[in-house]
Structure 1
Amino acid sequence: MSTDSTVQTDLLTLHTRVIQASIDIVDEVAPADLPKPTPCADWTLHGLLTHMIAQHYGFAAAVQGSAAAEPWKSRPLGPDPAESYRAAAEHARAAFAEPGALERQCPLVEFGPEVRVAGAQALGFHFVDYVVHSWDVAQTLGLTVYFDDEVLAAAHQVAAAVPGGELRLAPGAAFGPVVPWPEAVTLDSIVAMLGRSPSWPDPAA
């Protein structure tokens, strides 16, 4: 993905839209929904939300230059899951918008003690993660999340650059193997590229 300053600014704007969409869909979560299975293997909705919250705090710390492991750790969800999520999402959104954040070297300690990427690359990772996780939550709730054509085009570009092959089979891999799906710039094709079946929870998918 290009790191041209105009592209960075555009992606930051699209990232803001995605974070807001994720907040809006999590606002629909009721306590009774938390034990439900999700498209993320082995995670209930409760587990998915704690993961999403931890990733928000972890990426925020990284783009602020911190190499601490603590922000990446899961924490209790709290009595109001939507509010816990909103606070984390807003924190991450603000961190990426800080002056100079996209030019910093960001220590992504969750991926390895020596892993550092430019802030613009970290933004791309976080952006596509929350496109997919917004879809995960929506699917779990039986709802639909909508992204505009600009968001989908950018997410498709980032998803296409994610390495595939045996890396996707490793324990703890961020994404599963690609799911065969018609190639098009759609949300379904993006989640399929990153290991989700757009037909979930159809048992035959």
Structure 2
Amino acid sequence: MSLLELHSRSLELAAAVVDTVQPEQLVLETPCAGRPLRWLLEHMVGRHLGLAATAAGAGPDPALWRGVPVHGDPAGAFRHSAARLTVALAAAAPHAAPLRLPDVDGGAPLPFDRAVGLQLRDTLVHAWDVAAALGSPARLIAAVEGEPPLAAALLAAADRRPGRAPAAVRPGAGAAGPFARTLALLGRDTAWALPAR
């Protein structure tokens, strides 16, 4: 599978998780520094639209990457933004021009495949954040690890040079499966769970 096909698959798996979110769950905490689920979903939709705009030539304007309200239909907002991103990346792929992401390397140009790989990683890790908030991350992990090319692409995008990971590497980054290793490399606690209420 090509990287774009793997990216599309990551969006499908993430959408399947987001499809299960109920409006009353938007207030749940997530593994993202205590941010609520609504914030996380708005962040994901904003990243889709930001990268779609960048792939269409808009440049690394941070305003294009802001969170977008999902209102009462997070699944619809996610799927709409994912479709726009898929179309934009497919249109940009033949040229494979470098892309500038405002939150990576200070907006410096990144090779097209590197930018797509980072988006694949963010899609799946944030899908895990959503699934963890809902109490069901194991199904997503099994789905990704059941597709070795996808799991390899995820881990490759997480294995960044020292000092470049967005959070401190957690213990166990070398011991578990590729998804758990990715989470550890990015500072996620794979045992994260909402406190009992």
1:156 aligns with 2:148: no
1:29 aligns with 2:21: yes
Alignment check: 8 A CA contact 1:191 1:197 kept: yes
Aligned match for 2:131, one of 126, 129, 138: 138
1:43 aligns with 2:35: yes
Alignment check: 8 A CA contact 1:164 1:177 kept: no
Matches of 1:125 and 1:177, distance apart in 2: 18
Matches of 1:121 and 1:106, distance apart in 2: 9
Please list every run of at least 4 consecutive aligned residues from structure 1 whose deviation after the TM superposition is greater than 4 angstroms. 110-114
TM-score, normalisation: structure 2: 0.85
Residue aligning to 1:62: 54
Aligned match for 1:178, one of 166, 169, 190: 169
Alignment check: 8 A CA contact 2:184 2:190 kept: yes
Relative to structure 1, is the Cα distance of residues 61 and 114 closer, same or farther in structure 2, using a 3 angstrom cutoff?
same
CA RMSD of aligned residues (A): 2.1
> Where does structure 1 lack aligned partners over 5 or more consecutive residues?
1-8, 169-174
Matches of 2:66 and 2:95, distance apart in 1: 23
Relative to structure 1, is the Cα distance of residues 155 and 141 closer, same or farther in structure 2, using a 3 angstrom cutoff?
same
Relative to structure 1, is the Cα distance of residues 62 and 10 closer, same or farther in structure 2, using a 3 angstrom cutoff?
same
Matches of 1:65 and 1:10, distance apart in 2: 22
Shift of 1:112: 7.0
> Where does structure 2 lack aligned partners over 5 or more consecutive residues?
none
Matches of 2:31 and 2:91, distance apart in 1: 33
Shift of 1:99: 4.8
Shift of 1:178: 0.7
Relative to structure 1, is the Cα distance of residues 180 and 24 closer, same or farther in structure 2, using a 3 angstrom cutoff?
same
Q: How many residues align?
A: 187
Matches of 2:96 and 2:186, distance apart in 1: 27
TM-score, normalisation: structure 1: 0.82
1:80 aligns with 2:92: no
Matches of 2:162 and 2:184, distance apart in 1: 12
